[in-house]
Amino acid sequence: MKKHILVVPGDGIGQEVTAVGKKVLERIASKFGHEFTYDEALIGHAAIEATGNPLPEETLAKMKASDAVLFGAVGHPKYDNDPSAKVRPEQGLLKMRKELGLYANLRPIKLFDELLGASSIKPEILKGSDILFFRELTGDIYFGEKGRKNDGDTAYDLAEYSRFEVERIARKAFEAARTRRKKLCSVDKANVLETSRLWREVVQKIAPEYPDVEVEHQFVDAAAMMLIKDPRRFDVVVTANLFGDILTDEASQIAGSMGMLASASVGDSTGVYEPIHGSAHDITGKGVANPLASVLSAALLLDISFGLKEEADTIIAAVDQLLKDGFRTRDIADATTPADKILNTETAGQELLKRLG
């Protein structure tokens, strides 16, 4: 198979972890006889510094011309404490999602048994958890009208959804549930928000088309509580952009660390694959970032965009073996982890490549 992959490291540790993800893709291509070509492009703070634009036209063109995008992270502390900044790294991320039509964000929350102790949640509650989140990605409050009034003393952000937007993400979630445990939980706030009432109405309307899938509706606050209390009750979860952003970060505690969670943003064209962690500038340049989420994102890329399930499973098996062999990065290590088993970004990549053969 011949495919072209665009690597977009972005900001902070994104540059460090995508380097490992790319090496894994190169090893897989060699092992299975594929031909992957690569290019790189700028986004976020790095792009602003170089071009003044968080998503340069050159980057967008390269994205549209590629078969898949391996993405790092976007963000920089200098913007976090400057609400007046007109140009921000995250604007590049949102524009990318809109321009590529990336309306579905898939976030698998699957716990490796060896990491039961890495979470703050009791192992007996966690064991066996396996959740697939579908977060709608191009609507909601992130993309609605926003601004200030009353001399800047009042701010507003408009949350808006169309029936079409809800239906297309719901159908993807229903289809996925059919291939798993046939359970779908739709999360909203229909007791308060009109957008959520439309959301629930649409999900209820199309549910009879999937009679084999058990459907449950939960308010977002109840879902947030149940994720910690009883994560095994969930199979496939579908929710709106804002709720999904928060719930999936909460669910990282199930996996033990954000450094273990991959995601896929897909639509009708080029897919984007990235770890859910941010740019983490507090550890940038120290070489200690966990690259496994980027590696697992590479596995999603092979599976979803290229249909190479065996190759994807090979990567997942290598990660599993790395953990079984007792190796940990700093974020998932505990007091019992021997010093010679604690890996940095580079050595984690090296050990993983050994297990890929």
Show binding-site residues: 97, 107, 135, 221, 245, 249
Contact 67, 305 (CB under 8 A): yes
Q: Which of 221, 313, 325, 334 is catalytic?
A: 221
Q: Is 249 a catalytic residue?
A: yes
Annotated binding-site ranges for Mg(2+): 221, 245, 249
Q: Which of 79, 189, 235, 303 is catalytic?
A: 189
Annotated binding-site ranges for substrate: 97, 107, 135, 221
Burial class (CB within 10 angstroms; exposed 0-12, middle 13-18, buried 19+) of 321: middle
Q: Which of 38, 110, 183, 249 is catalytic?
A: 249
Residue owning tokens 């999904």: 244
Q: Which of 38, 98, 182, 245 is catalytic?
A: 245
Q: Are strands 130-136 and 146-149 parallel, antiparallel or unpaired?
A: unpaired
Whole-angstrom Cα Rg for the chain: 20
**Residue 129: CB atoms within 10 Å:** 21
Task: List, in order, residues 6 or more apart from 169 with CB less than 8 Å away.
Answer: 103, 104, 134, 136, 238
Q: Is 210 a catalytic residue?
A: no
Q: Which of 142, 161, 210, 273 is catalytic?
A: 142
SS3 content of the chain, % helix, strand, coil (to 5): 50, 20, 30
* CB-based burial, 176-212: b 16+ in 10 Å, e otherwise: bbeeeeeebbbbbbbeeeebbebbbebbeeebeebee
Q: Is 189 a catalytic residue?
A: yes
HSE at residue 131, side-chain half, CA atoms within 13 A, is: 32
Query: For the chain, what's the residue count?
Result: 357
User: Which residues carry out catalysis?
Assistant: 142, 189, 221, 245, 249
